[in-house]
Structure 1
Amino acid sequence: MTLDRTTQSTPDPQPHKGARDAHDDRKPAEFVEALAKGLAVLEAFDSGHPEMSLSEIARRIGSSPAAARRSLITLSALGYVGQRNKKFHLRPKIMTLGSAFYFSARIDEVLQPFLRDLVTKFGDASSVATLEQRDVIYIAHNSVQRARRAAATVGARYPAYATSLGRVLLAGQSDTALDRYFDGLVIEPLTSKTITDPEALRAEIELIRQDGYSTTVDQLDYGITALAVPVRSLDGRTIAALNTSGYTGMVDPAALIEHRLPDLRIMASSIAQSLAKYPVLEGIIGS
Structure 2
Amino acid sequence: MSEQIDNDRDYVQSIERGFAVLLAFDAEHPNPSLAEVATQTGLSRPAVRRILLTLQRLGYVAGSNGRWSLTPRVLSIGQHYSATHTLLEAAMPRLLKVAESTQESASLGVLDGTDVVYAARVPVRRIMSINVSVGTRVPAYATSMGRALLAWGTPEQLGPVLAQAPFDKLVAGTITTVEQLQDELAKVREQGYALTSEELEQGLISVAAPVRDASGAVVGVIACSTSTARNTPEGFRAHAVPCVLEAAALLSTDMGHG
Alignment of 1:135-214 (within 5 A): 135-175=115-155, 177-214=157-194
The number of residues matched between the two structures is: 254
Compute the displacement of 1:148 (Å): 4.5
Alignment of 1:1-287 (within 5 A): 29-105=9-85, 109-175=89-155, 177-276=157-256
Compute the displacement of 1:207 (Å): 2.4
Q: 1:100-154: CA deviations, max 9, x gaps?
A: 3234545664211111111111101111111111111111111212415323322
Deviates more, 1:106-115 or 1:124-133: 106-115
Q: Tell me the amino acid that sits aligned with residue 220 of structure 2.
A: A
Could you say if the C-alpha distance between residues 120 and 57 of structure 1 is closer, same or farther in structure 2, counting changes exceeding 3 Å?
Answer: same
Deviates more, 1:33-42 or 1:265-274: 33-42
Partner SS for 2:164: coil
Q: Tell me the amino acid that sits aligned with residue 137 of structure 2.
A: R
Flag structure 1 segments of 5+ consecutive residues without an equivalent.
1-23, 278-287
Distance in 1 (alpha carbons) for counterparts of 2:106 and 2:6: 35
Flag structure 2 segments of 5+ consecutive residues without an equivalent.
none
Aligned partners of 1:231 and 1:271 also within 8 Å: yes
Deviates more, 1:264-273 or 1:201-210: 201-210
Q: Stretches of 4+ moved more than 6 A in 1?
A: 24-28
Distance in 1 (alpha carbons) for counterparts of 2:6 and 2:225: 37
Partner SS for 2:255: helix
Could you say if the C-alpha distance between residues 27 and 216 of structure 1 is closer, same or farther in structure 2, counting changes exceeding 3 Å?
Answer: farther
TM-score between both structures, scaled by the size of structure 2: 0.86
Q: Tell me the amino acid that sits aligned with residue 86 of structure 1.
A: G
Partner SS for 1:83: strand
Q: Tell me the amino acid that sits aligned with residue 15 of structure 2.
A: L
Compute the displacement of 1:85 (Å): 4.2
Could you say if the C-alpha distance between residues 95 and 276 of structure 1 is closer, same or farther in structure 2, counting changes exceeding 3 Å?
Answer: same
Could you say if the C-alpha distance between residues 115 and 75 of structure 1 is closer, same or farther in structure 2, counting changes exceeding 3 Å?
Answer: same
Distance in 2 (alpha carbons) for counterparts of 1:81 and 1:94: 8
Distance in 1 (alpha carbons) for counterparts of 2:233 and 2:189: 17
Could you say if the C-alpha distance between residues 137 and 26 of structure 1 is closer, same or farther in structure 2, counting changes exceeding 3 Å?
Answer: farther
Could you say if the C-alpha distance between residues 233 and 105 of structure 1 is closer, same or farther in structure 2, counting changes exceeding 3 Å?
Answer: closer
Aligned partners of 1:123 and 1:144 also within 8 Å: yes
Aligned partners of 1:107 and 1:139 also within 8 Å: no
Distance in 2 (alpha carbons) for counterparts of 1:106 and 1:162: 27
Distance in 1 (alpha carbons) for counterparts of 2:54 and 2:187: 48
Could you say if the C-alpha distance between residues 68 and 208 of structure 1 is closer, same or farther in structure 2, counting changes exceeding 3 Å?
Answer: farther
Aligned partners of 2:212 and 2:255 also within 8 Å: no
Could you say if the C-alpha distance between residues 157 and 271 of structure 1 is closer, same or farther in structure 2, counting changes exceeding 3 Å?
Answer: same
TM-score between both structures, scaled by the size of structure 1: 0.78
- Alignment root-mean-square deviation, CA: 2.6
